[in-house]
Amino acid sequence: MPQTIRRGIKALIEEANAEIETVSATDAITAAQRDDVVIVDIRDPREIEREGRIPGAFSCTRGMLEFWIDPASPYAKPIFQQDKKFIFHCAGGMRSALAAKTAQDMGLRPVAHMGGGFAAWRDAGGPVEKWEPKKKS
């Protein structure tokens, strides 16, 4: 018997976008130069390796987001305990909307997401660097 999904991804993204701040790629490029802003890349490492990354962005896969934000988690990352603005991005702006909403719901403030994601950043002329995974020894 097939599943009946009552709230699909489209509805979830629309709800998230209604509750979070969305910044343009142009504004994110400017914000990335500030010391009080952290750009958070939630893409999968394979996407980052294939497409490149925003210089200085903090990489946090979507699957670890809640665990890395929560200071009570054994996986908590100190970067999320800082008094900074967190701008989330993914490839196209859908996963980052959900990530920003989750972070905001958890109490992380201030947060935003970059509309259009990494593609918009690249198209707006934002700097991109090649990324290669760490070599296993």
Q: What is the pLDDT of residue 137?
A: 67
Q: What is the pTM of this model?
A: 0.94
The CB density around residue 98, as the number of other CB atoms within 10 Å, is 22
Give the residues of the chain that fall short of pLDDT 70: 137
Dump pLDDT digits (tens) for 71-101: 999 999 999 999 999 999 999 999 999 999 9
The CB density around residue 56, as the number of other CB atoms within 10 Å, is 12
Please report, to the nearest 10 degrees, the dihedral formed by the alpha carbons of residues 19, 75, 32, 83 taken in order. 70
Helices 9-19 and 95-106, axial angle in degrees (round to 10): 50
CA dist 35 → 31, 106, 124 (Å): 9, 23, 21
